[in-house]
Chains A and B, each alone.
Chain A
């Protein structure tokens, strides 16, 4: 970990994930005069408070105008600065989609998008403020690295990595507090490399964002209750996807479940399925996530439960997939 910002477990329980982003960015801004924060009337909501404290002149607010925010960022990056844009995921991916595609990715500028209020983490705001298609959109954009941190520690790591590496980044973080997955920042975060957070050989659950903690909870439970050894991979980088880890999971466990707070169309599940299909290696497979429908209104945890992407949903899915054989015979009826 080369970045200067380090925070501890106490911080993580007392400050939200986006506040950690704000702290990490404030640290970077103090170190590098080329770095600038841009927001579209969401300086407070996206927790740029710490940046405002240390360097208010390098927080540019363009008002409620996401398209403008991306264009301005592209212009600044073209002029040699390193802009960090922050806004709600729903709007950074959809309202400014053309600008993200053309101004940021096509021009391949050194701009970093911090997409907050990811998935259904702003659950009570309803589907206008849910982002369940943003990974499908951003994953398809050339030059863009897409990261979904699982907690505050990982958010700090992702922000530092985005700063240290040239090129456009899309980092998708939740509103409010995330369940704490890691004990500190030093667990070997590396862009494009999945992290195993629970060892196992019976089945692999590949998750991202808030679903990683849930998957580990499920794995712990299944170990105790069913004696199942569930491997849980934190696939924090959606693009470039860690093909090696997926192929190893196919090889070792022959059963894979993906879990994401996103549509099952175009997100993490699709990315894993693509690797699997291209490898030509069959595997029992199930995708958990939003099943091609808009999410209900409610608290994030209630929506996750309803959609089946919390620990209970994952436990049910594991038991279902474990009950189905995968074998190299001529009988296709018993396969998932």
Chain B
């Protein structure tokens, strides 16, 4: 049983389902995309943009807005639909994803796509940028929060750990770190390519208040975010939400398959994946009914 009410949970599931469908559709329009890592993080994107982020669609550069930095920039195939659906950019723009002359490439450019707080894509950059926006909030006396999401394979980049050290040293509890632990990277399972475990212990050793949750369970995810926000009021150890997720979450036939880091879907697969999404959505609603407050 989680704190999230059934009604709110169901509404978020409905939104997540629509955004997953839109992500599949965008992949078709784009010809191919980073589907696996996009779907694994989509529940986080949904709850941030539809429950937590203090943002104004009509004033995207509002200086007191919460920041969100998608360090795993290749998840743009899911992030772009979220931003367009939210109203930051026209939905039509999704049809141009990856196409020549488009404002939307495989990794989003903060100077071209409205609502993007950092141009990412080169892995291992987000943590330091997030530490910077969080430090700036402290120096300027602002109360906005910075949310930052990294991949798990991405943590091989040493620069992440430099950023984590800064977050801890300056007690940037106004910065909340999410790790999309989908257990896969391009060349295989993370533990085969480069061992990450014990990851939660590593984060704790780096000074974080570490919460391990099912990142594809909206109720569990919201519980962790609520706790992180409660801890953000005073400078203290920053919170890391280590999200246990599935690559390709929501599409059963590709879930957990590292080969779906990047791929193309034809009409047949599109229909099949959409049927699987629908099944998944039903199961998620049943879970919300059972575990919601």
Contacts and interface: CB of A to CB of B under 8 A. Distances in A.
Interface in B42-83: 63, 67, 69
A78 B139 CA distance: 14
A247 interface: no
A106 interface: yes
Interface in A31-59: 33-34, 36, 57-58
A68 B162 contact: yes
Contact of B163 (A57, A68, A73, A108): A68
A78 B162 contact: no
A63 to B, nearest CB: 7
B135 interface: yes
B129 A65 contact: no
B114 interface: no
Q: Chain A, interface size: which category?
A: 20 to 34
A72 B129 contact: yes
Interface string A237-261: 0000000000000000000000000
B141 to A, nearest CB: 10
Given A102-B122, A107-B118, A68 B110 contact: no
Q: Chain B, interface size: which category?
A: 35 or more
B129 A71 contact: yes
Nearest to A62: B166
Contacts of B124: 67
A68 B136 contact: no
**B-side binding surface: helix, strand, loop or mixed?**
helix
Nearest to B159: A67
Contact of B135 (A33, A65, A76, A99): A76
Given A67-B162, A68-B162, A102-B119, A79 B169 contact: no
Interface in B97-126: 109-111, 117-119, 121-122, 124-126
A25 interface: no
A107 B131 contact: no
Interface string A63-100: 10101111111111111110100000000000000110
B135 to A, nearest CB: 6
Given A80-B63, A107-B118, A67 B128 contact: yes
A78 B129 CA distance: 9
A107 B110 contact: yes
B282 to A, nearest CB: 41
Contact of B131 (A34, A75, A99): A75
Interface in B211-247: none
Given A65-B166, A78-B117, A60 B111 contact: no
A79 B140 contact: yes
Interface in A10-40: 33-34, 36
Nearest to A66: B162
A103 B125 contact: yes
Given A60-B135, A76-B132, A76-B133, A71 B117 contact: no
Contact of A71 (B110, B132, B140, B169): B132
A33 B140 CA distance: 8
A68 B159 contact: yes
A75 B122 CA distance: 15
Contact of A98 (B122, B133, B166): B122
B145 interface: no
7 contacts: A63-B166, A63-B169, A68-B162, A74-B129, A75-B130, A81-B140, A103-B119
Given A34-B140, A73-B132, A75-B118, 6 more contacts: A68-B162, A71-B131, A77-B132, A79-B63, A79-B140, A81-B139
Interface of B: 63, 67, 69, 109-111, 117-119, 121-122, 124-137, 139-140, 146, 158-159, 162-163, 165-166, 169-170
Interface of A: 33-34, 36, 57-58, 60, 62-63, 65, 67-81, 83, 98-99, 102-103, 106-108
